């Protein structure tokens, strides 16, 4: 008998500050509904100077370890597209901060926003080989675009940590998947740039083409029909992208994409992303967490997830919810993480954007700003120095 493998626990973390997009509209003279309605975004997370992808990841992972301990975790897979080092894995820093055993592997994965799904599927494979093991999967990103660019309104940041195990408490990852890869230059960030280059129109069309092609591959491999899913989660660079994608899928299957149908299928998945903004690799799983926290009981029902990473790689897969999963959710914690962000003005946001870490080896002590359990405390000897908040 095949042992079911999937998501045993899931935890969310986001940054210290939040800027309402009304502030951005005030700065650039735009109608705020361009953001609230056109993009489906209301605010965005802005990290404090002592926050980065490692501190966000460790804050999410700490919640997993606090509940389940570290026994049996021999692998940590860290997906990100806003990495801090071209050689050393961000997972190594997290392994140290949260106290994972030295007898473990720590790896960083990259393929734009798709990386988190890749990490999840690799984790399932590791557990399938040895069901006694558990794998910690983390997707953590801070989305940052050029000032006064079209992408600035979609910025954000978050981390999602998942514990993958046999006989999971939350969701079994189903075996059938649909895949699609195409060499598309819609979004990329060369090593010499701190912000990406984006062809927005091409990126939307590439995303929609990937939805169609991944679904066709999934269907051809014997996957479920659209009507068999109780929920649909999409990668959300902005939440209206999920509406565009779901419209494409429904119309592909000859189903009318009415406003009522789109709202019913998608609204629970967009609540957290509307407030957080784009979190790249974490975005799909922020949406999944939002679905779990805002949906009716999904015991024994299946949820479709579509992962897209520019460039591009896409995957359509599904999970089946375990009966009783709601007893293991972190709904109050997730809502609190978003609600406790400190609101800031556009001027404060610009001041935070103007702060940069040295790139020439200069020493820097980073002042304490965030309430995160982990902080970036200094740059010393070309190295980032991290500490638990209580160790300041």
Q: What is the pLDDT of residue 392?
A: 46
Q: Please, are residues 80 and 137 in contact by the beta-carbon 8 Å criterion?
A: no
Could you confirm whether 113 is annotated as catalytic?
A: yes
Q: Per the residue annotation, which of 23, 51, 81, 315 is the catalytic one?
A: 81
Q: What is the pLDDT of residue 51?
A: 98
Chain centroid to CA 68 = 22
User: Which residue stretches of 239-345 are H helix?
Assistant: 239-252, 259-276, 283-294, 331-339
Residue with tokens 């983390």: 138
CA–CA gap between residue 137 and residue 298 (Å, rounded): 23
Q: Per the residue annotation, which of 113, 233, 243, 246 is the catalytic one?
A: 113
- Bridge-based pairing of strands 313-321 and 342-343 is unpaired
Q: By C-alpha distance, which of 177, 74, 60 is closest to 131? A: 74
The CATH topology of domain 173-324 is Peroxisomal Thiolase; Chain A, domain 1 (3.40.47)
Q: What is the pLDDT of residue 2?
A: 86
- Bridge-based pairing of strands 134-143 and 105-109 is unpaired
CA–CA gap between residue 350 and residue 348 (Å, rounded): 5
Beta bridge partners of 158: 14, 141
Q: By C-alpha distance, which of 164, 84, 158, 87 is closest to 119? A: 164
- Look up the pTM and report it: 0.97
250 token code pair: 């429904």
Could you confirm whether 233 is annotated as catalytic?
A: no
Count Cβ atoms within 10 A of the Cβ of residue 363 and give its class: 0-12 exposed, 13-18 middle, 19 or more buried: exposed
| b/e sequence 188-225, b meaning 16+ C-beta within 10 Å | ebeeeeeebebeeeebeebbbbbbbbbbebbbeeebee
Count of alpha carbons within 13 Å of 201, Cβ hemisphere only? 0
- One digit per residue, the tens of pLDDT, for the chain of length 392 reads 589 999 999 999 999 999 999 999 999 999 999 999 999 999 999 999 999 999 999 999 999 999 999 999 999 999 999 999 999 999 999 999 999 999 999 999 999 999 999 999 999 999 999 999 999 999 999 999 999 999 999 999 999 999 999 999 999 999 999 999 999 999 999 999 999 999 999 999 999 999 999 999 999 999 999 999 999 999 999 999 999 999 999 999 999 999 999 999 999 999 999 999 999 999 999 999 999 999 988 999 999 999 999 999 999 999 999 999 999 999 999 999 999 999 999 999 999 999 999 989 899 999 999 999 999 999 999 999 999 986 54
CATH architecture for residues 5-171+329-391 = 3-Layer(aba) Sandwich (3.40)
Q: Please, are residues 149 and 28 in contact by the beta-carbon 8 Å criterion?
A: no
Other Cβ atoms closer than 10 A to 272: 27
Is the four-CA dihedral 11, 14, 16, 22 of positive or negative sign?
negative
Q: Please, are residues 98 and 58 in contact by the beta-carbon 8 Å criterion?
A: yes
CA–CA gap between residue 312 and residue 309 (Å, rounded): 5
CB neighbour list of residue 390: distance below 8 Å, 6 or more residues apart: none
* Cα→Cα distances 147→195, 196, 237, 239, 346, Å: 10, 12, 17, 21, 12
Q: Per the residue annotation, which of 8, 235, 243, 246 is the catalytic one?
A: 235
Q: What angle do CA 43, 49, 52 make, to 5 degrees?
A: 80
- Would you say how long the chain is, in residues? 392
CA–CA gap between residue 382 and residue 153 (Å, rounded): 32
Give 63-71 contacts, CB < 8 A, sequence gap 24+: 63/11, 63/13, 63/161, 63/330, 63/333, 64/9, 64/11, 64/136, 64/161, 64/162, 64/163, 65/98, 65/99, 65/100, 67/9, 68/8, 68/9, 68/134, 68/163, 70/98, 70/99, 70/100, 70/101
Say whether 173-324 and 5-171+329-391 share the same fold.
Answer: yes
Count of alpha carbons within 13 Å of 89, Cβ hemisphere only? 18
Q: Is 283 helix (H, G, I), strand (E, B) or coil?
A: helix
Q: What is the pLDDT of residue 347?
A: 98
Q: What is the pLDDT of residue 296?
A: 87
Q: Which residue ranges make up each domain of the chain? A: 5-171+329-391, 173-324
Could you confirm whether 235 is annotated as catalytic?
A: yes
33 token code pair: 């509904």
230 token code pair: 């109780």
């Amino acid at each position: 008998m095949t042992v079911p493998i999937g998501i045993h626990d899931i935890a969310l973390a986001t940054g210290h500050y939040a800027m309402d997009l009304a502030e951005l509209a005030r700065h650039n003279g735009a109608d705020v509904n361009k953001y609230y309605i056109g993009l489906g975004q209301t605010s965005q997370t802005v990290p404090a100077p002592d926050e980065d992808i490692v501190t966000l990841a460790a804050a999410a992972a700490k919640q997993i370890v606090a509940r389940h301990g570290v026994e049996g975790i021999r692998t940590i897979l860290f997906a990100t597209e806003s990495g801090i080092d071209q050689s050393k894995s961000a997972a190594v820093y997290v392994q140290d901060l949260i106290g994972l055993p030295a007898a473990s592997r720590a790896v960083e994965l990259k393929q734009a926003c798709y990386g988190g799904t890749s990490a999840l599927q690799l984790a399932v494979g590791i557990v399938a080989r040895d069901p006694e093991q558990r794998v910690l999967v983390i997707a953590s990103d801070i989305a940052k675009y050029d000032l006064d660019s079209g992408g600035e309104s979609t910025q954000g940041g978050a981390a999602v940590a998942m514990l993958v195990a046999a006989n999971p408490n939350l969701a079994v990852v189903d075996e059938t998947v649909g895949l699609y890869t195409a060499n598309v230059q819609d979004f990329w960030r060369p090593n010499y740039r701190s912000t990406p280059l984006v062809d927005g129109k091409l990126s939307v069309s590439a995303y929609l083409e990937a939805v169609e092609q991944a679904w066709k591959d999934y269907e051809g491999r014997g996957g479920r029909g659209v009507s068999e899913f109780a929920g649909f989660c999409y990668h959300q660079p902005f939440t209206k992208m999920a509406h565009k994608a779901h419209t494409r899928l429904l119309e592909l299957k000859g189903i009318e994409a009415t406003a009522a149908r789109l709202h019913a299928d998608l609204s629970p998945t967009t609540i957290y992303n509307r407030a957080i903004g784009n979190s790249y690799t974490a975005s799909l799983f922020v949406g999944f967490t939002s679905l779990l926290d805002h949906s009716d009981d999904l015991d024994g029902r299946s949820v479709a997830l579509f992962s897209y990473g520019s460039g591009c790689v896409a995957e359509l897969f599904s999970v089946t919810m375990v009966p009783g999963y709601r007893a293991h959710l972190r709904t109050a914690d997730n809502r609190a993480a978003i609600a406790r962000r400190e609101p800031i003005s556009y001027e404060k946001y610009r001041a935070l954007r103007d702060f940069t870490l040295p790139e020439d080896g200069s020493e820097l002590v980073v002042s304490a700003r965030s309430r995160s359990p982990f902080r970036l405390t200094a740059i010393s000897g070309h190295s980032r120095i991290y500490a638990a908040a209580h160790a300041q």
